[in-house]
Structure 1
């Protein structure tokens, strides 16, 4: 940052601290309950999101949200109360070691072997003939890697980025396609962990869903009515072929820029992917082949995904680690010396440092919001707005807000489903009505997770595709919001007609 910007952030910091102390010491604090801190529960999430949008600086914005949450909750020592428990948690360790270091290391090795670029060129000869077909290729990979969330964005983004870069697909377009085919497709092609997770949450909540088996059946029955997921997938498909009925102003500018200048990112952008992950340095006398890409990716899919269909388990952590090891072994067997292999891995791991910092702070802010009862407060504050015909649309809007504020769809499911299902059944026990409410919760949570700048899928989409995080958020929001708006209209129409 420049000196002037440091001064600006210093005054912002002083203002946030002073304001947080003021809020925690006056009447607002009287609203706190054993479950939440009243309207103060919203402050950390709203503050972080607002600063991120205004300043485009995600790291200090997230940090200030954590600081504000610590003051409001009375845990002023945020290091002991939030940072150490969050950054030292098994969940963040998995993100750091598996999704970031192994991902970065794997891509770093590919910059030494040229494996990903070789595959991209080979696939390009089969499918890609220009910008539009390159974007379709990205959409197709997003659909094929339908495990949802982080793994989908990593697999799809790292696979298609080289060919999309070659065909001048802006990183805003690519990150939107990758992000918008990650979680949405996971709820439409449910050969993953999503159905079982949600079935466990809804089991026993209403007489229509007495156990997990019926909850699983309910999930499959609701797929046709998951309007947001269907529209999101359709919008990205149409964007790929440049036939989208609506494209936001910033996305249009990105498309125009890359066509006229060839610049994949805007001037002044700060991509999450460092140069270590974008520049290929294949050693002399090393012959790149498809094996450099196929063996690591085959290991990743073979160990991580295929067992799901055979034994009902997924071994994602093991798969990522083994894929890096196999990439190293393949390069070594083909003649690359160990120093070059290690250099590639280390450069790749360094290249995802900023992503690791942002994800660490996002995890911490999520824990701060949980300690303040942010999601619980939002649900309690809005539960009085019950109009039967509008309930599915209300559920969707509420889940959009919660997931956007806390950056997770699964966390939103955990809060909403145990509340939403009994309320929907009490309002109207008709199975179709309950199904529509169920689908609305599913789709609304996906929207919030997909669009939030503190969501892991949003961050990893930007990281894998080489985009500036806030550029990705700004260019994705208009299309996703239109899809969400259409979904709420459809829920209202279906509820009025069928229930």
Structure 2
């Protein structure tokens, strides 16, 4: 064990002891003032805030998330962290699907492509046909983000895995690529409603106020609010302008990434820890294997044909089946073209190994989300701020509140579930005007997307980094400035429109 590793272990050991002691102290002195049956008072926000702070300060996400879970166990008195939180979270159906389908199938597919060379072959072909450099490669990534508009994990994986080889070939930094992929995932899903988002949100707002008596009225509200979903529109515009290299404001981290890749060709900074390991990026094509475009087109075509196209035909999507069939098609094709079974299996295994760190981070993020649920984190935040009611500022206040909640819990849908049943009745009590209600509705939608997008414990943030080969915290740091400017502009627009129209 080298000196640097010993130093790091000592630092985290001391930090762990400090976190445990601090949390015990807060709990023992009854610092949870305002505690109710629904939450633990101000202690409710300690685990997510602690995890997020440590992740930003140390750039070490795994121990930061784990310490957040530990703090939650201390606050609730459930000291059996493994039995109470980790096992139920990691054994949940939702995490199992993400692990088996999105992580292992995605990793396995990319691993097989390192054996067949299919993705790289497509990258070279696309480069000749439509990509002329960094700008056109980024525009292609933006187009794919818009096309794969299902939102969240699905969009980031589909878009990221498709465009990464092309953008790598064109010299697009992984910070730029992961921002484009992440910022065209959930935002576009709320603007092009051919997905599950409208029905989910309509179900949450149905019956909350007289203007929304049922789910049909909720759907009408969703569609009528699309023009006012300012954050989503601006986020999509910003990624387009970044792709075209016309964005007037770019944060310092993103500027450094752009300068680095232009001057050195390095897709990640020195010392970065990409979620996609070398097993997913290094080619190992057997000498006697003839790589063709079909090695890329068949798996991707299967993925789209089974997972997305049925949405427009029968109104349903078959995402888990699509990913598994995509991997199987890549395997069968490679075997049919003469690759030995051992090479095919090695490619799949190497690819699955390559996403291990992403699976660990995502598992801990899911666990921390469940800890936050048990503490009533979201209900405490809402209760602590609902007294701040200035009618003209209410949409902007809703947006800030949703930004903070979604950032803390790493979920836009989870934020919707908490906020909409409270936000709609409160807005109606303040001003029953339909336009005012629509603006408040759109603010909740956009604010939740922002918080989810920039949170390092969000599945979309993690999967964007994984699919694009970026360091998770580099992705977070480099996208926050642009996303925050978009959110700030949105809040100003909500305030102006509320003053004028309501």
TM range (shorter): over 0.9
1:169 matched residue in structure 2:
172
The CA deviation at 1:115 is 1.1
Match of 1:249 in 2: 252
- From 225, 228, 231, the counterpart of 2:231: 228
Q: Is the 8 A contact 1:406 1:454 kept in 2?
A: yes
1:151 counterpart SS class: helix
Matches within 5 A, 1:80-229: 80-229=83-232
The normalised TM-score by structure 1 is 0.99
Task: Show the counterpart of 2:427.
Answer: 424
Cα offset for 1:439? 0.5
Work out the CA distance in 2 between the residues paired with 1:90 and 1:77. Answer: 21
Please state how far the C-alpha of 1:29 moved relative to its aligned partner: 3.3
Rounded Cα–Cα distance in structure 1 between residues aligned with 2:491 and 2:406: 16
Q: Distance in 2 between matches of 1:121 and 1:490?
A: 43
Q: Does 1:323 align with 2:317?
A: no
Range 36-45 or range 113-122, more displaced: 113-122
> Following the alignment from structure 1 to structure 2, what is the Cα–Cα distance between the partners of residues 361 and 309?
35
| Deviation sequence 1:48-99 (CA, Å, 0-9, x none) | 0000000000000000000000000110111111001001111110111011
Residue of structure 1 equivalent to 2:26? 23
What are the Cα deviations for residues 227-258 of structure 1, in whole angstroms up to 9, with x where unaligned? 00000000000001110010001110110111
Q: What SS is found at the alignment partner of 2:32?
A: helix
Could you tell me whether the CA contact under 8 Å between 2:123 and 2:169 is conserved in 1?
Answer: no
Moved over 6 A (4+): none
- Matches of 2:283 and 2:423, distance apart in 1: 50
Counterpart in the other structure of 2:76? 73
Say which SS state the counterpart of residue 339 (structure 2) adopts.
coil
> Would you say 1:400 and 2:394 are equivalent positions?
no
Question: Contact 1:272/1:468 (CA < 8 Å) preserved in 2?
Answer: yes
Cα offsets for 1:184-218 (capped at 9, x unmatched)? 01111111111111111111111111111121121
CA distance in 2, matches of 1:218, 1:110: 44
- With over 3 angstroms needed to count, the CA separation of the structure-2 counterparts of 1:30 and 1:428, relative to structure 1, is closer
User: Cα distance, 1:259 vs. partner?
Assistant: 0.6
Instruction: Using the TM superposition, give the Cα deviation of residue 319 of structure 1 relative to its aligned residue in structure 2, in angstroms.
Output: 1.0
After TM superposition, give the deviation of residue 286 of structure 1 in Å.
1.3
Between stretches 16-25 and 484-493, larger displacement belongs to 16-25
| 1:448-498 alpha-carbon deviations (Å, 9 max, x no partner) | 000000000000000011110000000000000000000000000111111
The one of 478, 481, 502 equivalent to 1:478 is 481
Give the structure 2 partner of residue 36 of structure 1: 39
1:163 and 1:95 map into 2 onto residues whose CA distance is 25
Instruction: State how far apart, in whole Å, the 1-side matches of 2:363 and 2:442 are.
Output: 31
Displacement of 1:166: 1.1
Aligned position for 1:267: 270
- 2:268, 2:470 within 8 Å by CA — same for their partners in 1? yes
Aligned length: 499
Structure-2 separation of matches of 1:302 and 1:134: 24
Structure 2 contact 124–169 (Cα < 8 Å) conserved: no
Report the Cα distance in structure 1 between the residues aligned to 2:218 and 2:301, rounded to whole angstroms.
Answer: 33
Unaligned ranges ≥5, structure 1: none
Q: Provide the secondary structure at the position in 1 that maps to 2:137.
A: helix
Structure 2 counterpart of 1:411:
414
Q: SS where residue 355 of structure 1 aligns?
A: helix
Give the alignment's Cα RMSD to 1 decimal.
0.9
The answer to whether residue 316 in structure 2 is matched with residue 334 in structure 1 is no
CA positional deviation for 1:31: 3.2
Please tell me whether the aligned partners of residues 171 and 465 of structure 1 are also in contact (alpha carbons under 8 angstroms).
yes
- On the 8 A contact 2:33/2:42 being kept in 1, the answer is no
CA contact (8 A) 2:149 2:155 kept: yes
Q: Does residue 438 of structure 2 align to residue 435 of structure 1?
A: yes
2: CA distance between counterparts of 1:401 and 1:158? Answer: 30
The corresponding residue for 1:389 is 392
Q: Distance in 1 between matches of 2:129 and 2:431?
A: 52
What does the per-residue CA deviation read over 1:127-182, in whole Å, with 9 as the maximum and x for residues that have no partner? 21001111111111101111100111111111111111111111111100110001
1:200 & 1:29 partners in 2: Cα distance?
33
SS at match of 1:391: helix
* Contact 1:228–1:487 (Cα < 8 Å) also in 2: yes
**How far apart, CA to CA, are the structure 1 residues paired with 2:297 and 2:227?**
35
CA–CA separation in structure 1 for the residues paired with 2:130 and 2:423: 44
Distance 1:176 1:169 in 2: 11
Work out the CA distance in 1 between the residues paired with 2:386 and 2:35. Answer: 18
Q: Deviation digits for residues 411-431 of structure 1, max 9, x if unmatched?
A: 000000111111111111111
Asked if the contact 1:120–1:159 (Cα under 8 Å) also holds between the matched residues in 2, the reply is: no
Is the 2:137–2:167 Cα contact (8 Å) retained in structure 1? Answer: yes
TM-score using structure 2 length: 0.98
- Whether contact under 8 Å (1:59, 1:361) holds in the other structure is yes
What is the 5 A alignment of 1:285-300?
285-300=288-303
Structure 2 counterpart of 1:356:
359
- The answer as to whether partners of 1:395 and 1:420 remain within 8 angstroms in 2 is yes
What 5-or-longer segments of structure 2 have no aligned partner?
A: none
Compute the displacement of 1:444 (Å): 0.3
Compute the displacement of 1:281 (Å): 1.2
Note the C-alpha offset of 1:289: 1.5
